Structure 1
Amino acid sequence: MAVYFVGDIQGCYSELDALLTKVGFSNNSDQLYVAGDLVARGPNSLETLRLIKSLGNNAKVVLGNHDLHLLAVYQGIKKVKKQDHLSTLLSAPDVADLMHWLIQQPLIQKLPDEEVYMSHAGLSPQWTPQQAFEQAQIAHQHLSSSASQAWLSNMYGEQPTSWQNADDELGRFRYTINSLTRMRYCFADGSLDFSCKESPSSAPKELSPWFEFQHVSDDTQWVFGHWAALMGHCPAKNIYALDTGCVWGQHLTMLRWHDKRLFTEQSHKN
């Protein structure tokens, strides 16, 4: 059995299919860990969700910010963004099944018997991996409950930016969603910034990438997506950045875990 991690697909189905063929992925024995943002800006979100759902337990998914927004759109909380290509998905005959499956997905996945974690945006400097995993499980329970619409409605907003200020259930939920699906930069005290999306070389001096806080110990490894401007470059040896901007005309990246070999597929847009 081989374990693969793939970065933000964003509806780039043909590139994903080509990568799976390139690595000889076995639907029966291999596992595919998907680092969130399965849908949105690319042309084939419907086909992407159908493919990953069809893998059953061989696919391990975490929710990204675009996935959560899709769920909010489906439940009538938000409107479709002009730049998203979701009309085919939202009008599909199996959309209810797909949305039920999607909302059951967690915010963090962990490899069995290994200190290897995956989330869409990373690990807050104000958390240990265990704290993050525990809060992700609580948020998952909220989102997959009968009250999912209320929780999706309340996930929007940028406060609190610090875990120390998350002093009620809603604040802890919103901080969990924001840190695991939206975070890129933090201030010196570890509080979250949501304004800067640039590469680290272009960021304001008062901000640092979350992975520079040295809160991920050497015996822990973390895989994330979300940050296309990094183009897969992360200086920490035990942290793996996999969003390489396929939907923006760059390429889709897949990491084979046991030997850390990277496979890429150039965007088919060009």
Structure 2
Amino acid sequence: MSTYAIGDVQGCFASLRQLTKTVGFNPAQDRLWFVGDLVNRGPDSLGVLRYIRDLGSAAVTVLGNHDLFLLAVATGLTTLRRDDTLTQILDAPDCGDLTTWLRQQPLLYREGSYVLVHAGLLPPWTIEEAQQLAMEAETALRGKQCDATLRALHPNGPLQWAPDLKGTVRLATIIKVLTRLRTCSNGGIMESTFSGPPKLTPQGFHPWFDVPNRQSATATIVFGHWAAMGLHVTPNLLGLDSGCVYGRQLTAVRLEDRKVFQVRCEETRAGK
């Protein structure tokens, strides 16, 4: 049995299918771990959602910011932007089933020494603390607090974590950390607008994983969300967003031996 961790798919279903063929994925014995952002910007988010849902226990996915945006749009809390490609899902006869399934997915998944999350963890958070906070927000998304939590998350700019936060602001801030974090200060203040490469991180901030004395450094964090950084592999970090939706590659890493597999974006090639 092999476990393949896969970067941000973002609706690039043809690339995902090509990648599963490249690694020789067998759903009867292998598993796929997805770092979130299953949907949006690519041409076939509907196909991606249906495929991953239908894999059942052969797939593990955490929620990304684009997945949560889909939930917010589907419930009428916000509207599509010009470059969003979610209409296919919203118009599908099984839209309700798909969004219900999506709401049940975790924000953080832990197995052995690995932690799967879309964006990152604040440096002061231990793995155990992050797991407990994620469970708070997951419970809200799966229950009656879902709409209120998503409403507090959109827009996300002013949200900053503090342990004494309460209510939907607390829940939305937890979600912001787990699904949108890229850089922060040594004290854990998040920078909410930067999406460029790490070397251009704004003054006073650092990539979240480079902050000194990060409390989650004992685990191997598997994450995505940072396309401008690209593939980032160190002993305790697997950053897997290699920018497929931007015409680059979709990446998988086999966790058992850290072998890297990549395919060129099929959607970009088909459009040429």
- 1:190 is matched with which residue? 188
SS at match of 1:223: strand
Question: Contact between 1:185 and 1:208, CA under 8 Å: does it hold in 2?
Answer: yes
Question: Contact between 1:121 and 1:181, CA under 8 Å: does it hold in 2?
Answer: yes
Instruction: Note the residue ranges of structure 2 that are not aligned, 5 or more in a row.
Output: none
Displacement after TM superposition at 1:146 (Å): 2.7
- 1:212 is matched with which residue? 210
- 2:100 is matched with which residue? 100
- Percent of aligned pairs with the same amino acid: 38
Q: TM-score, normalised by structure 2?
A: 0.94
Q: Which amino acid aligns with 1:215?
A: R
Give, in whole Å, the separation in 2 of the partners of 1:212 and 1:159. Answer: 23
Question: Contact between 2:152 and 2:169, CA under 8 Å: does it hold in 1?
Answer: no
- 2:24 is matched with which residue? 24
1:107-143 CA distances to partner (integer Å, 9 max, x unpaired)?
A: 00112xx121010001111211111110101100000
- 2:11 is matched with which residue? 11
1:42-96 CA distances to partner (integer Å, 9 max, x unpaired)?
A: 0000000010001001111100000000000001111112101111111111111
User: Map of 1:106-255 to 2, 5 A cutoff?
Assistant: 106-111=106-111, 114-156=112-154, 157-164=156-163, 166-213=164-211, 214-216=213-215, 219-233=218-232, 236-255=234-253
Give, in whole Å, the separation in 2 of the partners of 1:160 and 1:92. Answer: 33
Q: TM-score, normalised by structure 1?
A: 0.94
The correspondence for 1:261, drawn from 244, 259, 262, is 259
Displacement after TM superposition at 1:237 (Å): 2.4
- 1:61 is matched with which residue? 61
What root-mean-square deviation, in Å, do the aligned CA atoms of Structure 1 and Structure 2 show? Answer: 1.4
Displacement after TM superposition at 1:202 (Å): 1.5
Q: How many residues align?
A: 266
Instruction: Note the residue ranges of structure 1 that are not aligned, 5 or more in a row.
Output: none
